[in-house]
């Protein structure tokens, strides 16, 4: 009986020790590499003030008609995200067709691979740096934020759109082709209608992310709620930090709920 | 055949009222957003030469800056690893408490999920700004930021995984008289371990990306140098940093992807 049981070779038997040691070394390297500055003395006090600010927000800041209040800036943040996502959804379509691999193409196809690399590059390029570059071009303000969101979002939308194209059902394309349609007919009447619901769903998903990033782009001067938030934190105006945080939480939650319910209907 | 039997389209259907109203509202929103954000394409195109000037300066990276960049890049990875680990450790009990098939008490589950949803709404840089105010400038603030950020993300991924597990082993253990802790250890953990490790690596990837900019607000890592080079208008140094970030993200992503594929 015993010879039926396959004897584990050395690697299979003790391999996990090797991996455990590697992981352990990685952690030791990380823990010793970081300088833990410890907490500054005011840490407890500051966190208490933040929590206190959250429970006693400065309600007067919610709306005062000056255009610099919470309500106007939240709307502005949403506008940045909305416009940025819309522009980027349009710009992403050519990138998606560039990066999508055809059925009979190899894994290392020149067009598709180069397109995928460009998308990785755009995705990795920090959005903050992009915002600062656009501030140089159009000056500080929410327009720079719109441009940053619309360029940065191409990286993710192009990837998701491209994958949608790769996985789409080709039946209707073939039908148009066999009925004698031209390439343009095929694209307009078969490809686009087939992938449109997926494109819309991904765009909405990206809009949810864009709302989050639009709310912090203001920290570098690209408009929206980020600017007064950073200012309030630096001047230690905790009641104002509290109301802004509440505003961001409510805004993000609402947008997630609305966009999520629309996405459920689409797919 | 009787003419009345042919279904008549209602007014709404005949004139595509829904589609037209939808399009109108969408255009109105677009127009409103454009007004709100002060879109000015004229200004954009007249100042485009400045933008290209900046790009051309970034196209000549200051390669001698590379030596200075290596240490903070490594620090960024260290921050991401420790932050993700702390976040995951906190996330495990929360994800168990939020899982529908383990906790039958809807109130407990609701409260936990509400907390998790709140944490997930906060963007990473916002957390960084708060933690810099609390613990002071340095990589400690970055670690806490990433811990909270990954806590929100990973606990959702974890409890969704727990909810998809097979109930059989749980019932078998309960029938044999196991208590709740034993059920979790011997029936839940073996079923979810692979997906947990996979999600941990995925979150680690995202945290490496996120940690590259946290330093912009003083939370340690490469972001500190990013901010320094940008505020002193040394775009050739910025270019080196961006290339370094790109390289490190690609390396971490491909290592983590191949590990995750092995786990499947």
Q: How confident is the model at residue B42 (pLDDT cuts 50, 70, 90)?
A: confident
Residue A101: helix, strand or coil by DSSP?
A: coil
pLDDT tens string B87-108: 999 999 999 889 888 888 889 9
The shortest CB-CB distance from B32 to any of A79, A134, A143 is to A79
Distance from C-alpha of B91 to C-alpha of A249, rounded to nearest angstrom? 20
Angular region, A56: left φ>0, alpha ψ -120 to 50, beta rest: beta
Q: State the pLDDT confidence band at A201, using cuts at 50, 70 and 90.
A: very high
CATH number of A50-266: 1.10.3720.10
pLDDT digits (tens, 9 = 90+) for B122-177: 888 899 998 988 888 888 899 999 999 999 999 999 999 988 888 899 899 989 99
pLDDT per residue over B180-198, tens digit each?
888 888 988 888 888 899 9
Average pLDDT in chain A: 87
pLDDT at residue B4 in the model:
67
User: How many C-beta atoms surround the C-beta of residue A57 within 10 A?
Assistant: 20
Q: Is the pLDDT confidence value at A3 over 60?
A: no
- The whole-number pLDDT of residue A204 equals 94
Give B153-192 as a DSSP string.
HHHHHHHHHHHTS-SHHHHHHHHTT--HHHHIIIIIHHHH
Question: Average pLDDT of A160-179?
Answer: 90
B74 vs A contacts (CB less than 8 Å): 33
Do the Cβ atoms of A133 and B134 come within 8 Å? no
Q: What is A47-84 written as a DSSP string?
A: HHHHHHHHHS--GGGS--SSS-SHHHHHHHHHHHHHHH
In A140-169, the residues whose Cβ lies within 8 Å of chain B are 141-143, 145-147
Asked whether residue A63 carries a pLDDT value surpassing 90, the answer given is: no
pLDDT of A7 = 63
Cβ separation B54–A248 shorter than 8 A: no
CATH hierarchy code of domain B62-263: 1.10.3720.10
Asked which of A72-81, B22-31, B37-46, B177-186 is least confident by mean pLDDT, the reply is B37-46
Q: Residue A143 and residue B230: Cβ atoms within 8 Å?
A: no
| pLDDT recorded at residue B54 | 83
Question: Considering only alpha carbons, which residue of chain B is nearest residue A236?
Answer: B133
pLDDT computed for residue B89 by the predictor? 94
Question: Would you kindly state where each structural domain of chain A is located, as residue ranges?
Answer: 2-33, 50-266
- Measured in whole angstroms, the distance separating CA B162 from the mean position of its chain's CA atoms is 20
Q: Give the three-class secondary structure for A145.
A: helix
What distance in Å separates the CA atoms of residue B243 and residue B180, rounded to the nearest whole number?
A: 50
Inter-chain touch B245–A143, beta carbons under 8 Å = no
- According to the model, what pLDDT value does residue A16 have? 82
For chain A, positions 168-187, list CB contacts with chain B under 8 A: none
Mean pLDDT of A40-54: 81
Which of B126, B201, B225, B253 should we substitute to test contact with A (largest number of A Cβ atoms within 10 Å)?
Answer: B126
Q: Give the mean model confidence (pLDDT) for residues B219-230.
A: 88
Please state, in angstroms and rounded to a whole number, the distance separating the CA atoms of residues B59 and B43: 24
Burial class from Cβ neighbours inside 10 Å (0-12, 13-18, 19+) for residue B146 reads: buried
CA B170 to chain A, closest CA, distance in angstroms equals 28
b/e code A186-223 from CB counts within 10 Å (16+ = b): beebbbeebbeebbebbbbbbbbbbbbbbbbbbbbbbb
> A245 phi and psi, to 5 degrees?
-60, -45
Given a cut of 60, is residue A4 above it in pLDDT?
no
Average pLDDT over residues A224-230: 90
What average pLDDT does the segment B39-53 reach?
A: 81
Closest listed residue to residue A68, CA positions, set A244, A234, A253, A219: A244
Percentage with pLDDT > 90 across chain A: 38
Which residues in chain B are contacts of A36 at CB distance < 8 A? 140
A38: which chain B residues are within 8 Å (Cβ-Cβ)?
140
Mean pLDDT, to the nearest integer, of B6-23? 84
Question: Taking CB atoms and an 8 Å cutoff, what residues of chain B touch A124?
Answer: 209, 245-246, 249-250
Residue B2 pLDDT > 90: no
Do the chains contact at A39 and B47, CB–CB below 8 Å?
no
Picking from A247, A163, A144, A161, the residue whose alpha carbon sits closest to that of residue A205 is: A161
The domains of chain B are located at 62-263
Among candidates B74, B77, B230 on the partner chain, residue whose Cβ is nearest the Cβ of A132: B230
**Cβ contact (<8 Å) for B136 and A124?**
no
Q: Do A35 and B139 touch (CB under 8 A)?
A: yes
pLDDT of residue A68: 79
Tens of pLDDT, residues B49-88: 888 888 888 888 888 888 888 889 999 999 999 999 999 9
Predicted confidence (pLDDT) at residue A168 exceeds the cutoff of 90: no
- Report the pLDDT value the prediction gives residue A170, as an integer from 0 to 100: 87
Q: Is A33 on the interface with B (CB under 8 A)?
A: yes
pLDDT given for residue A214 in this prediction: 93
The answer, yes or no, to whether residue A5 has pLDDT greater than 70, is no
């Amino acid at each position: 009986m015993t010879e039926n049981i396959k004897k584990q070779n050395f690697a299979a038997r003790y391999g996990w020790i090797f991996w455990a040691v590697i992981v352990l070394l990685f952690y030791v390297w990380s823990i010793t590499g970081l300088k833990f500055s410890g907490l500054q003395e005011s840490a407890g006090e500051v966190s208490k003030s933040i929590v206190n600010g959250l429970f006693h927000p400065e309600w007067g800041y919610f709306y005062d008609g000056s255009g610099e209040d919470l309500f106007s800036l939240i709307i502005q943040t949403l506008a940045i995200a909305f416009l940025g996502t819309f522009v980027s959804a349009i710009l992403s379509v050519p990138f998606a067709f560039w990066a999508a691999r055809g059925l009979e193409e190899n894994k290392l196809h020149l067009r598709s691979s180069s397109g995928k690399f460009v998308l990785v590059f755009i995705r990795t390029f920090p959005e903050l740096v992009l915002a600062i570059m656009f501030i140089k071009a159009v000056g500080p303000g929410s327009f720079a934020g719109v441009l940053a969101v619309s360029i940065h979002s191409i990286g993710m939308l192009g990837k998701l759109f491209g994958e949608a194209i790769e996985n789409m059902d080709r039946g209707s394309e073939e039908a148009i082709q066999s009925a004698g349609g031209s390439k343009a007919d095929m694209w307009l009447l078969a490809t686009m209608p087939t992938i449109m619901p997926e494109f819309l769903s991904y765009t909405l998903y990206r809009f949810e992310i864009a709302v989050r990033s639009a709310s912090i782009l203001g920290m570098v001067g690209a408009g929206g709620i980020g600017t007064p938030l950073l200012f309030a934190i630096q001047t230690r105006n905790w009641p104002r930090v509290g109301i802004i945080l509440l505003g961001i939480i409510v805004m993000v939650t609402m947008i997630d709920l609305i966009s999520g319910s629309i996405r459920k209907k689409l797919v | 055949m009787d003419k009345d039997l042919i279904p008549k389209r209602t007014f709404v259907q005949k004139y595509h009222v829904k589609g037209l109203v939808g399009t109108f509202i969408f255009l109105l929103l677009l127009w409103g957003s454009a007004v709100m954000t002060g879109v000015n394409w004229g200004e954009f195109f007249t100042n485009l030469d400045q933008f290209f000037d900046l790009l051309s300066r970034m196209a000549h990276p200051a390669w001698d800056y590379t030596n200075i960049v290596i240490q903070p890049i490594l620090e960024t990875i260290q921050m991401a690893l420790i932050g993700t680990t702390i976040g995951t450790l906190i996330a495990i009990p929360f994800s168990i408490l939020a899982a529908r098939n383990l906790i039958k008490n809807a109130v407990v589950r609701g409260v936990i999920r509400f907390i998790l949803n709140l944490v997930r709404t906060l963007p990473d840089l916002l957390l960084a700004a708060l933690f810099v105010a609390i613990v002071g400038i340095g990589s400690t603030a970055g670690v806490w930021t990433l811990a909270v950020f990954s806590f929100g993300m990973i606990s959702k991924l974890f409890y969704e995984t727990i909810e998809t597990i097979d109930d059989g082993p749980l019932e078998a253990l309960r029938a044999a008289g196991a208590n709740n802790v034993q059920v979790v250890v011997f029936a839940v953990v073996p079923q979810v371990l692979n997906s947990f490790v996979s999600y941990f690596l995925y979150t680690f990837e995202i945290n490496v990306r996120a940690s590259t900019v946290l330093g912009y607000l003083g939370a340690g890592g490469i972001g500190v140098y990013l901010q320094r080079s940008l505020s002193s208008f040394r775009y050739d140094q910025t270019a080196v940093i961006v290339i370094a970030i790109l390289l490190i993200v690609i390396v971490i992503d491909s290592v983590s992807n191949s590990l995750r594929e092995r786990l499947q």
